[in-house]
Each structure stands twice: as structure tokens, then as C-alpha cells.
Structure 1
Amino acid sequence: MKINRANPMLKFKSVEEMKYRELYRVTEKFHSTMDINSVLAEIIQTLKKVFPKYDYYLLLSNDHDASPELPIKGLEYNSENDSAITAYVNGAVELVHSEYPMMYAPLKGKQGVYGVLQVQSHLPTPLKNSQIEFIRLLANTAGSALENAKLYQQSQKLIEDLRLIDETSQKLNSTSSLCETIEYLHKQITKLFRPSEIGFIFLGENDLEILEASSSYFHKQDGLNLINTTIKKLKDNQESLFIGEIKHMPECAKHAYGSLMAIPMIHGESIKGIAIVLGDKPYSFTFEMFKLFQSLIQRSTLAVTNSMLREKLEKMVITDQLTQLYARNYLNTAIKTSMKRDREGTFILIDLDDFKTINDTYGHQVGDEVLIQVADLVRSSLRETDIGARWGGEELAIYLPGVPLDNGVHIAERLLNHVSLNTEPAVTISCGISNWFYGKEDEVKQLFYRADTALYKAKHAGKNQIAVKPLDSAKI
């Protein structure tokens, strides 16, 4: 009887042909995807088909949002796996000859090495040259595919970042106030970087201003210390700060936060302010985040600076430069608005008694200082909603929206006492008070006239006192 035996050479050829058909297939698959996880999954699936009895791991050089089903390990420089590190650094295959042979093939592209493929045999026999060559070709092909996928993702991220920066710049340039500008910037930073704390600090000639949108932390002593340290480093280095571990900064060795990014707001050739973000843990921010944060702040600085200048100009228009109280035109407008919106209000007209004597005795400079002292006492007596203004010369004014006449009189009496006790040289004031209320026809100029009449009465009654001329409620 004639027995047919399979030709071992034909069997070898069919196995080798299967390998390279698989390599061809996976190469086509790599070229058709720009997804990193798909590339990594194809590497493992191909090896399982060709070498079903081997173990495989992907040792990757940086973080990936990889599927937990994939056999991925981190590739650390301080790893005890010298062969893996050697394959990664040299970009060449490393073989480990032990009881069960192991191979490390670099995932190499044209621009770098992105990880290492670890293959371990369960057989004591050494890997064949054909097996080594196949794994090497698969790793090289996968490395090129990973590189293309990374470059694609980086380009997409860059496009997305540029679009976001452009949208942010347009939005900031269209906002009308500094508050709106900073709040929008705060919102964008929170969405992009998820920091623990955000600070916006502007530098004056002799001091710094922490804007309201900043985290409360920056108003505390630790936060102020960090701000001063950061400002010093920015001025010394003239560069943005990217601190992966704050504890490595000698001045902040015991700091409660882990990482920091700080970008100077440069307008012209000087630093106008800084933007700071803090992370709870070390290395909370990636270098890519730092570059995006840098671009975002640099592109936003002009809009922020313009908002600040606009508000300063607006404040100059409505503020008396000597007393820093509101100007009279702003007071007029505010009372007109209040008469349409509120149900009542009280107006106090103030005159410094014998102010000419102060100027004649001590000089006009001392006179100005006394006027400033009284203005400061006026300001300290008011709520945020109240308005203190310079009426003209040595006359000041207070408007109390929504405040009834009796309460206004108490405020004036308290101010009268404070001025006589807290000015140097000591001065006194006289006050004329009037009011308005809803349901009675009235005008701003009539309110002013009644207060002025009351002030005249107080002055002629001996000064350092209050006189009231209320709205006639009997004629409603």
C-alpha cells in the first residue's frame, strides 16, 4: 500500500505565506485608520493569529486612553527591565536568552520610537529568525501607523485649539466690561484645564490688584506669598512658568498644591499682569496644556488690557479726581434712574464750614487734604448702592436710593459727628436734607433745590448742624 505523506517544505511555505498575508492585511488596516487604539488592537490580534501560544505586552512611552482590554504597560526610564529600555532608546530589537525566550521590538516611526512590543515564548527553544523578522516588521509597520495616528490627532488638536483661541479672542474683543472679559476667560480656563485655583493679578506702579474672578485662595496670605514669588520669577526670567512640582520651588516647599502654570500678560514691553492656575497634584497639567494656556493668555491680553483702559477712562469721566467721589453729572443721572426704579430716596447736601479760613490759614494744599479727609469719611459711611459725590468747591453730596428720610437724617448726624472728631485740622460740616417718594410728582432739580434751601438754613442757624426740608406729603 502506498502512503501519502505531506511535504514538510510545502507546510513551511504555507505557514510563512500565512504570516506575510497577515502582515499585508494588517498593513492595509493600519493605513485605513487614524485611531491609536485600533492600531494597538490590530498588533495584538495579529500576533494571536500567528503565534497563538505566545504572550504579548505593549510597553508605551506615554499615556494613552487605551482600552483596558489591551495588554498595555507603562514604559518607565527607571524600570528594571533593561532590555525594554535598550530597545526603546536604541530603536533596535533586543533578544533575551533565558529558559523561555523573550523579544523586545521597538514601535518605531520616522520621527521617533513610541513604545516597545514585548513577545514571550512558552517554548524553551529559541525564536527562529523568520519569527524574529516577522515581529520586527510588524512592530515597524505598527510604529509608522502609530506615528501617523499621533500626528493626525495632534493636527486635529492644534486645529481645535486654534479655533478655540480665535473664538475666545473674538468673544473677549466684543465684551464691554472688564468683569465680563475676565469671567469669560475664567470659564474657558476652567473648561480646558480643570484647575483647582485660578488667579488674575494686575500690576500697578506700586501695588497689585487681584481681580474678583480670582479664587478666594489668592486673597489669603499663602496665596499672596505665591503671587509675589511668581511675579519675581516671571520678572527675573522674562518667561512663562510651568512648574510640575511646586515643592521643588524653594520658596514654596510646603505648599498645599502640586503644580502651577503662570503666564505674564505683556502689553508693549512691560508686564501688565499674570494669569495663574494651580493643580492639586504634581503634574496636573501636560506640556500641551501649558502651550495652549500660554497661547490663550497671550491672545487675550490685548482684550483684557483694552477693557481695563476703557474702565479707567469711564471712571475718570464719572469721578472727581481730587476726592475720588463721583462727579456731579454721574450723581444727576443716578438719581434720575433711581426715581424711575425705586420707591423713595434721600438726598444730603454737605458744606464744609468756614473752609475759606482753612485755606487762608494753612494754604490750599492743606485745604485739599481736609476735603479728601471728609470725602473718605463720607465714603466709609455708605453702602455699595449709595452714592457719594463732589457737588462743587467745598460742597459734597450723598444720595441714598430706597432709604426713607428718617434713616437719611441718622446717617447725616453720624457723619456730622465723625467729621468733627476725625479731621486734622479739625473742621465741621453743615447738611441740608430732602427726600422723594413714589406717587408724588417730583424732579431731580426740585430735590436739589429743597436740599440746598435746607443747607442755607443750617448754615445761618450756626453751622455744624442739620436742617431738613422734606417733600410735602400733604399734597399727594
Structure 2
Amino acid sequence: MTLVKSGQHLNRIGIAFSVIIVLWGLHLLYDRLILFHSLTAEAVFVGGGAALLGIFLLIKFTRCMNRQWEEQAKAYQELQKELEQKVKELTALHYLSQEEYLTQSLELFLQHLLETTCQIFQAPAGEVLLLDEDTGELTYKAAFGLSKEYVSRIKFKPGEGIIGRSALGEIVCTEDLNKDPRVKYPLENRLEGFRALMSVPLRLNEKIIGVMAVRAVEPRTFSSEDAQLLSTMANHAAHAIERQMMYRQLKEANEKLTLLYRIGKTLAKKLDLDEVFATLLEEILKAVEIERCSLFEVDQETGVIRGKISSVMSKEEIEKIVLPLEKSPVGMAVASGNNTLVIEDVSKIQTLSEESRGVLEKFGIKSMAVVLIKYGEKVAGAITLSSADYYRFTPQELELVEAVAEQAGIAIENARLYEEVSRIAITDELTGLFTRIYFNRRLEEEWARANRYDSSLSLVMIDIDDFKQVNDTRGHKVGDEVLKKVAYIIKNNLRASDVAARYGGDEFVLILPDTAEEGAVSVAEKIRKAVSELSDPKVTISAGVAVYQPGKYKNAEEMLIAADMAMYSAKSNLKNRTYIIN
């Protein structure tokens, strides 16, 4: 610029000097003409020559001046173009910076980025594709002006097509997609109606994480300035993506910690095993966007898995699932030695048992993930995520469920220990029947229910005939075996709703809810006949039955006394029979 100004200054001096020479030559001729009324050859030569020289120099310097003005105008135009480009760039970056901090969603930010970029380039469509680290493919993260069908169907690998070449670091511009042999999907591009495309890599600390591109409907030549501007936008997008990913990771970590705290706090209050599984299912469905989730209890000692609760099966359906651990998806996870097993296509697993395959087919499961619930090295249960499609479980989903499973292991073990302690407290150690304390509590509950709803209720008191003689002649060890056998027969002849307890010594008592006289006598007789078939030693029992009737007994204790009296009536009448108090 300084040289241009210096040249212009010299040209101005030259023009002024030329004008002076012209005027001096003309003045010389004028003076000779006025003074002598004639022009001499010398005067004409000197004055005319000076004027002609001045005119020649004037023309020369004027041309130089015009050339410099043209160069200066061109320089100004280029500067103006450069400034306009910078203004575009700064305006876009300022807008996007605002959008980045106003938008917490990466997908929404990229959508705004594309819309702004397309406005700047006056392009009807644009796209951002990111590299999937698992598959190594470029997948659409955001698109503007492209159909959903195209976006969902089209994928690139680095180096494939124009988009793929940018994933290798190349800035690629094509004036006409229909004529460019590098295009991977020419038909799809024609169907979308786009002819020109420019794509640039998304770089983050020298690492290429994706591609950004804009498209035009008509053939178009993208300039180097266009490529530079799009690269600037792409670099900004890459850093924004990094910040958004960091924000998302922090948010997910915070959500994970919050979830684990909430689950730990909730499970600490749960000592019922069913409630523990129900709480786990509820929390998993809140944390993971998947509809199908089931929880199983694993018993490694017996080699069996039992369904506990499911988001897609009824309580009856899931509890019917009792499968051998071996050759089941859960068993495969245990055998793998890993806490998590992902099965992308269950139909390809040849080692599944027929029972396991039948369950998977019944509920239309095509892919699944199994996350083991452990307490130390012991497998206590399993969480299964399943899908009716060939679903790819994300690392974030699996990590979250794994974290929940860690909390669950302690809770399940605590619930099991509580159940075991409770069972020991209410269970007779020798026979496995309930204790007298538990029986008394249940009797009061069933009495109150029968009294309130006028429902049927029966009690059966059982005593082994001549049991003292067995102990005296065969010893207490044989006597204990007799008690166990009688208890086993009693349990095998009762419903799940019935209660059997060892009342004391060789006496047993049964609570039969919703059972009238005929049913109670039938149960007592089945047990009596089964016991009479025992041998070595051969023993019999006597049974007494009492049936609830409104107003007949003042309380449960009176009804129990009536059953006891009926039993002693049976023993005093030849034994090995059933009596009922009317």
C-alpha cells in the first residue's frame, strides 16, 4: 500500500512537470509571435518541441496514473471480498457460540449448526456424520434437507465415496454428483435431487472424528474460500462436539451416581426378596430406555434359574420359568467369566437347551444382554435386557445396568439372609414344619378372617400313637426319623395356603383355611392312611378335627382345645382313627 501511494505521488509530480513544460513551450511561441510578429525556426523548434515533449509526458504519466488506479481498485475489491468472507465467518461463529451454550443437546446443536451453515452457503442441504468407534463406519448424527429414509439407509466407511474420502482428511468438492465416479450412491443422490457437494473432515486435536458437508441442487463450483469457511465451521463443530460429549459424560456420571445412591438407599430398607427384585426392575426401567427387562434368581448349588419379575410378562408367566442353569443365556454368562454377556442374535446360539430356546421363541426375543448380579464371587441373580429386534445395546446402557447389579448383589444377599433367619426362627429344625409360636400367630390371623368374613376354617390335631414305646425300644434316633417321615407325609398332603406346625413332642397341628368339615376330615384321613403304611417301625396316628362355626367358639384357643379333645377321643377309642367334635 505504501509503494502504491509513493507511485501515485511520483505520477502526480510527473503530470505537473509535463503541464509546466507544455505551458513553457506554448508561452515561448506566444512571446516570439507578439514581440517579432513572426516565428523563427529556432523559436518553433524550441517552443514546439517543449510543448510536444510536455504533451507526451502528460499522456505517459496519465496512463500510469490510470493503471495504478485500476490496480488500487482491484486491491480494494479483493480486500472487500476478504472482509465480507471474514464477516460471514465471524457472524456464523458468533451465532454458533451462542447456540452451543444455549443448547445442551448435541443433536439439537448440530441441527442448528447445519441450518446456519446452509444459510451462509445458500445451500439447501447439509449433513454431519460421526465415526462410530465400534463399527468404524460414518453414521449420520444430524441432517438438514435430506430425507429420513436416505439418512437411515446410507452409511460410509472411511475412503468410500466423497464423504468417506473426507474421513481420511481430504477436502473434497464435486461440481456434479451425476458425473463424478467417486460417488458411492449415485442413484440415491439423484433421487434426493442434489448435484453438487462439498465435504470437509471434522478434526479434533489432529484426530478425525467425522465429516461435515453441504449440497446444492444445481451443478456448482465451490471456491477455495468456500472450502476454507466450511473447514472453519467444521473445526468449530468438532470442538463443540467435544464439549457437548464432555458435558454428556459428566451428566451421565452424575445421573449414575444419583441413581446408585437412590437405589442403595431404597434397597437398604428392603428385606423381602420379592420387594428387592421389584425395586430393581422399577429403577432399571427408569434409567435405561428399553422396554423389555426381566430379573432371575440364580441358585448355583441346584443349578437352576427362577423367574422373579418382568416388565413384559405377568407374575404368573415369569414365575413359571424355572430352567436349568446349564445351556441357558444366564448359564452362558456365568460360564464366560464376565459379568455381562451380549447376544446380538439368539438364533445363532447352538448350545441353548430346548427349554431355553422355547422361552425365547415364545416371547419373540431376538437379541439380549445378560448382566449377572453377584455377591463376592457368588452369582445371586441376573438381569436380562431383551429386544424383539436385532438391537445393539449401547455401552452406556450396559454400564448403568452393571452398576445397578453391583448394588443389587448386596441387597439380594441381605434379603436371603433375612429370609433364612426368619425361616429358622419359625421352623422346627427336625421336621421342617413351622414352630408353635408361628402357628399361634397364624391361628389368630385365620380366626379373625373367618370371624370377619364368615368363611370356613378347620383345625386338625395329630398325635403319633405309642410314640414313647418307639423311643424306648428303638432309641431316639429312630424316633426322630419317624417324626421326619410323618412331617413329610403331612406336607405332601397340604395346599400352599395350609399351615402345618410341630406343636410339641410327637404332636402336630394343621390350619386349613377355607376348608369345611368334609374337606378337613378328608385331609386327616389321607395323612392317617399314608402314615399307617410306614414300616420299620410301623406306626399309626390319631387325629382330631374342629370346624369353625359362627358363635360356637369364643376365640381361637377354644377351637384349638376342641381339636385337641377330638384327638384324645380318637386315641382313647382304639387309636389310628380320625374324630371330629360336633
Fold equivalence (TM over 0.5):
yes
Instruction: Rate the CA distance shift 1:367–1:153 in 2: closer, same or farther, 3 A.
Output: same
Q: What is the CA-CA distance between 1:9 and the residue it aligns to?
A: 3.4
Instruction: Rate the CA distance shift 1:66–1:174 in 2: closer, same or farther, 3 A.
Output: farther
Alpha-carbon distance in structure 2 between the residues aligned to 1:246 and 1:27:
45
Letter in 2 for 1:320: D
| Residues 1:202 and 2:298 aligned together | yes
Give the one of 243, 247, 261 matched to 1:148.
243
| Residues 1:23 and 2:23 aligned together | no
Alpha-carbon distance in structure 2 between the residues aligned to 1:232 and 1:206:
16
Q: Does the CA contact (< 8 Å) of 1:58 and 1:71 recur in 2?
A: no
Alpha-carbon distance in structure 1 between the residues aligned to 2:403 and 2:381:
15
Give the one of 513, 533, 539 matched to 1:401.
513
Alpha-carbon distance in structure 2 between the residues aligned to 1:230 and 1:320:
35
Letter in 2 for 1:28: S
Residues 40-49 or 285-294, more deviating: 40-49
Q: Does the CA contact (< 8 Å) of 1:201 and 1:275 recur in 2?
A: no
Q: Does the CA contact (< 8 Å) of 2:196 and 2:219 recur in 1?
A: yes
Q: Deviations over 1:115-150 (max 9, x none)?
A: 311234567665322111111111111121122122
Q: Match of 1:244?
A: 344
Give the aligned length: 465
| Residues 1:85 and 2:168 aligned together | no
| SS of the residue 2:263 aligns to | helix
Instruction: Rate the CA distance shift 1:19–1:91 in 2: closer, same or farther, 3 A.
Output: same
Q: What is the CA-CA distance between 1:35 and the residue it aligns to?
A: 2.7
| SS of the residue 1:174 aligns to | coil
Judging by fraction of residues, say which structure has more helix: 2
Give me the TM-score of the superposition, normalised by structure 2: 0.70
Q: Does the CA contact (< 8 Å) of 2:327 and 2:351 recur in 1?
A: no
| Residues 1:76 and 2:176 aligned together | no
Give the one of 79, 86, 105 matched to 2:200.
105
Q: Deviations over 1:370-404 (max 9, x none)?
A: 43333233223323322111122322111123433
- 1:130-141 equivalences in 2 (<5 Å): 130-141=225-236
Alpha-carbon distance in structure 1 between the residues aligned to 2:265 and 2:321:
34
Percent identical across equivalent pairs? 24
Q: What is the CA-CA distance between 1:290 and the residue it aligns to?
A: 0.5
Q: Deviations over 1:20-77 (max 9, x none)?
A: 2333333433443333234223332333333215642333446788688667736735
Alpha-carbon distance in structure 2 between the residues aligned to 1:212 and 1:461:
50
Q: What is the CA-CA distance between 1:431 and the residue it aligns to?
A: 0.3
Q: With a CA cutoff of 8 Å and minimum separation of 6, indicate the structure with the bigger relative contact order.
A: 1
Residues 62-71 or 436-445, more deviating: 62-71
| Residues 1:293 and 2:401 aligned together | yes
Q: Does the CA contact (< 8 Å) of 1:241 and 1:263 recur in 2?
A: yes
Q: Match of 1:46?
A: 116
Q: Does the CA contact (< 8 Å) of 2:516 and 2:547 recur in 1?
A: yes
Instruction: Rate the CA distance shift 1:96–1:141 in 2: closer, same or farther, 3 A.
Output: same
Instruction: Rate the CA distance shift 1:421–1:112 in 2: closer, same or farther, 3 A.
Output: farther
Q: Match of 1:474?
A: none
Q: Match of 1:282?
A: 390
Q: Deviations over 1:411-459 (max 9, x none)?
A: 2223323333477765432102224444345344433333222222211
Letter in 1 for 2:171: V
Q: Match of 1:12?
A: 81
Alpha-carbon distance in structure 1 between the residues aligned to 2:503 and 2:280:
39
Q: Does the CA contact (< 8 Å) of 2:281 and 2:293 recur in 1?
A: no
Q: Match of 2:485?
A: 373
Extract unaligned runs of 5+ from structure 2: 1-69, 133-138, 180-194
Give the one of 371, 385, 394 matched to 1:263.
371
Alpha-carbon distance in structure 1 between the residues aligned to 2:165 and 2:476:
83
Q: Match of 1:428?
A: 540
Instruction: Rate the CA distance shift 1:124–1:197 in 2: closer, same or farther, 3 A.
Output: closer
Q: What is the CA-CA distance between 1:242 and the residue it aligns to?
A: 2.8
Larger-Rg structure = 2
Q: Deviations over 1:293-338 (max 9, x none)?
A: 0001101221221111101110111011222211111111111222
Give me the TM-score of the superposition, normalised by structure 1: 0.84
Q: Does the CA contact (< 8 Å) of 1:279 and 1:285 recur in 2?
A: no
Letter in 2 for 1:259: S
Alpha-carbon distance in structure 2 between the residues aligned to 1:91 and 1:367:
88
Q: Deviations over 1:346-393 (max 9, x none)?
A: 221112234455556766555444433332332233233221111223
Q: Match of 2:413?
A: 305
Q: Match of 2:504?
A: 392
Letter in 1 for 2:164: I
Alpha-carbon distance in structure 2 between the residues aligned to 1:84 and 1:262:
37
Over the residues paired in the alignment, what is the CA RMSD in angstroms? 3.5
| Residues 1:129 and 2:224 aligned together | yes
Extract unaligned runs of 5+ from structure 1: 471-476
Alpha-carbon distance in structure 2 between the residues aligned to 1:349 and 1:264:
47
Q: What is the CA-CA distance between 1:197 and the residue it aligns to?
A: 4.7
Instruction: Rate the CA distance shift 1:437–1:236 in 2: closer, same or farther, 3 A.
Output: same
Q: Does the CA contact (< 8 Å) of 1:26 and 1:42 recur in 2?
A: no
Q: Does the CA contact (< 8 Å) of 1:318 and 1:329 recur in 2?
A: yes
Q: Match of 2:495?
A: 383
Residues 153-162 or 45-54, more deviating: 45-54
Letter in 1 for 2:384: I
Residues 210-219 or 254-263, more deviating: 210-219
Q: Deviations over 1:222-270 (max 9, x none)?
A: x646774533542442432233333454424976422222222222333
Residues 120-129 or 233-242, more deviating: 120-129
Alpha-carbon distance in structure 2 between the residues aligned to 1:445 and 1:453:
12
Q: Match of 1:473?
A: none
| SS of the residue 2:351 aligns to | helix
